[in-house]
Amino acid sequence: MAKASRRISGSRNPTGSLSPGAKETDIAGQQMLGPTNGQPDKQTSLDPGVYEGLAGFRLAMRHFFAYSEKTVTAAGITSQQYQALLAIKVASQDQITMKDLARQMLLQPNGAVQLVDRMVVAGLVKRTQATEDKRSVFVGLTPEGRSLLEELALGHVREMLLHEPLLAESLARLRRLAKLL
């Protein structure tokens, strides 16, 4: 099946989302998604296979998130702390500014400070003042944080791969039926 090209009428905002009023269309000009809320156009009837694809995708994700919640709780941290460890690990030199961490975590700056406070107390991260801009603070992993992240990440990858067939099948079905790229 040939891939459908898509075009945007309107524009994307800096986060890559469609701007208000913009619509995504396939090559024939058929509307695929409504305005930026990502909802199908109310006049469009979806193929039943789309619902099967969405259900399969959500089932695989729910299994993964249930595993993740159970695993991080058993390790003595929260899902949010695990996500913060991941964000710090993928940042340059295993450290991230508080501002960037807040952005990565979809938190207000004060929420990121509180999260980091709890992680410092737990021995997972450390704060370092930036040398160039004394107002900036870097957050980096401690050896304990690195070790815990390594252990948790290994289990998470195994769990993700366990559900790969369902995820792949669901996404392929959605791509085929919704003509998404």
What is the pLDDT confidence band of residue 37, given thresholds at 50, 70 and 90? low
pLDDT of 32 > 60? The answer is: no
Give residue-wise pLDDT tens across range 138-163.
999 999 999 999 999 999 999 999 99
CB of 32 within 8 A of CB of 180? yes
Evaluate if residue 29 carries a pLDDT over 60: no
Question: Does pLDDT of 117 surpass 70?
Answer: yes
79-162: CATH number:
1.10.10.10
**Spans of all domains in the chain:** 1-33, 79-162
H or E segment and range at residue 137: strand 137-141
Tens of pLDDT, residues 45-61: 788 888 999 999 999 99
Higher pLDDT, 4 or 169: 169
pLDDT at 4 over 90: no
How far, in Å, CA of 151 to CA of 161, rounded? 16
* Angle, CA 20 vertex, CA 175 and CA 46 arms, to 5°: 30
| pLDDT tens, position by position, 100-115 | 999 999 999 999 999 9
- Higher confidence at residue 130 or residue 155? 155
Token duo for residue 115: 């999260």
